[in-house]
Structure 1
Amino acid sequence: MSTNTPPAGRPEALYRLAERVAIEAAEFVRVSRPPGRVEVAATKSSPTDAVTEIDRATEDLIRAAIAAERPDDGFVGEEGEDLIGTSGVDWVVDPIDGTVNFVYGIGAYGVSIAARVDGAVVAGCVVNVATGETYGAVLGGGAWKTQAPAGGPTTPLTAPTPPSVALALVATGFSYRPEIRAAQAAAMTQLLPQVRDIRRIGSAALDLCGLAEGRCDAYVEQGLKPWDLAAGSLVAAEAGIVLEGLDGPPDERLVMAAHPLICREYFALVRACGF
């Protein structure tokens, strides 16, 4: 390990770095975005799964900023190759979560940075680029929201008591692969009559932070990658939300999230609907 690399097991210090870099990256995204629709540079899982040059440049900025302070850490990013570290810490990064929103100028896209120690997420920060709101969490240390601009008032996040499942507003998202999207639509057809309504915002990280502060009551999505999930899931969990997968922890196969008062009923409903 480099003598300049801080020890692995300090979640608060890792959070401070995540927050500083996320705010810097969000400002870079904001000032780099041209007027109108952003040009798509490439696609990934399908022709509708977009990547822009600003996604790539933002991830490069984040990689460089973290490496400058913690050169022995690993890095898992959406747009570049994984880097294996030697410190026990790795960084899980989505430079723009909600790229399609970013392309179209819809104001719901964010920078998501999480730190893992020996595989467990211990710190996470999500910055809503369009609003400047910053969401943060440290494992065992709670979750919070800082109003824009950076350095504004910070308030703890505790997920509010939800209504019944029948009156729950459910956040969700869909795969970019047509065959998977068709199956998800069939499952959603079963779920929709049994809840208040659904919201498809277009950013998993912001959905999970919204769940933490009560902008929705429950969440379900399939196909999330680690960078989609890492920071937002910690914010939600530290705010009191329960997260599960189909048969264990949340993963790419399925992510379900809800308040403890409704989670058992809601999770059973999601499974019964065929997700």
Structure 2
Amino acid sequence: MNCSAWARRLGRLLLPLLLAVSASASAGSTAEFDDLVARLQFAFFTGDSRALEETLTELGNFDVEPSLAAIKSYQLAYGDWKLAQLLGERAQAKSSASKAAKLCVQHARDAITKDPRMAEIYAIEAACDTYQPGSPKQGSTACTRSKSMRTALTLGAENPRVLFINALCSPDAEGDPAAIERWRAVVAKFEAAPPSQPGKPDWGHAEALTLLGESYLKRGEMVAARDVLERALVLAPDYRQAQKLLQTAANRPR
């Protein structure tokens, strides 16, 4: 074999390796990806919609390895859902909240196309597809009855984040004891779940504790409310809603 033929053969052998190395070098690491996702959660906890929007833009431009493509779309959907919730609290930002909810649905459906086995993304899609700015955080029966939610519960009947969204969408009359039992069950699922792995979703536990605390407050159970809200703040010390509810519980008589 002459030198030129050998060089061509060597090039054919090395090309796939070089392309793989190049793709790996251009794609961000799982640790960098997880850092961006953590910033999404922090922005939501602190009620900083501008930081949340900026982080979503950064995440959208972040190159990931093919194995993270579906979860990237998932996290973009999650971030837009949280942005819709923050903006929906402001009367002047309802149109922006609706836009964020629509983007959430788009990203959720993109994630489903890439990996139709992720139960949680169907639940996020259901929450965003039926989202109404300015409506109560709970009580959207359209969400619980949607095809997407049914699929989520079929695929992930024991998944704490699926159960979280299903509970969030369930009707919650003032002081309804059933709400406390729903949130207790969701919190128990989070506490029984194994630790999240790198590149995987890890949201929901602090929010579930906070909503359980809110349900206790509505029932006038101040000691129980303070207990779970303090636990929420151990997990997310900057969670603005948990802080506000804990202050309310502390100022009310037992």
Task: Place the TM-score, normalised by the shorter chain, in its bin.
Answer: under 0.3
**Hey, which of these two has a bigger chunk of helix by percent?**
2
**Hey, which of these two has a bigger chunk of strand by percent?**
1
Q: TM-score, normalised by structure 2?
A: 0.28
Structure with bigger RCO (C-alpha 8 Å, 6+ apart)? 1
Rg larger for? 2
